[in-house]
Amino acid sequence: MTHNVEMCKCFSSLERIGTGSSSDVYSAIFTPLGTPVALKVFYKDEKYNKELYLKEIEILKCVNHPFIAQYYSCYETPHMSSIIMELGENGTLLNYMNKMKRITIIEIKKFFSQIASAIRYLHINKKIIHRDIKLENFILDKNMSIRLLDFGFSTRMAEKLDQSGTNCGSIDYSAPELFISPNLSYSSDIWSLGVTFYALAAGKMPFFAENSEKVVNEIINNEPIFPKFIPPDLIDLLLRMMDKDPATRITITDVCEHPFFKGSPLQYYISDSFRYEERTETVPKKEELFQMATDLGIVVKPMKCDIDMMRAAHNIMIKMKNMIKILKNEECLCNNEICILPKIKRRPVEKHLSSLSIVAHGLTATSPPFKKLPYSLLVKPMSTSRKKNMEV
- Name the region of 362 (left: φ>0; alpha: ψ -120 to 50; beta: rest): left
Check if 172 is active-site: no
DSSP 46: T
Nearest to 392 by CA among 219, 235, 178, 215: 235
At 336, which amino acid appears? N
Give me the count of residues in the chain: 392
- Whether 117 and 65 have beta carbons less than 8 Å apart is answered as yes
Q: How far apart, in whole angstroms, are the C-alpha atoms of residue 100 and residue 349? A: 8
Nearest to 99 by CA among 135, 145, 142: 135
Q: How far apart, in whole angstroms, are the C-alpha atoms of residue 178 and residue 220? A: 10
Catalytic residue (one of 24, 132, 150, 172): 132
Facing residues of 346 across strands?
100
DSSP 85: E
Nearest to 60 by CA among 47, 73, 48: 73
Q: Which residues are known catalytic residues?
A: 132
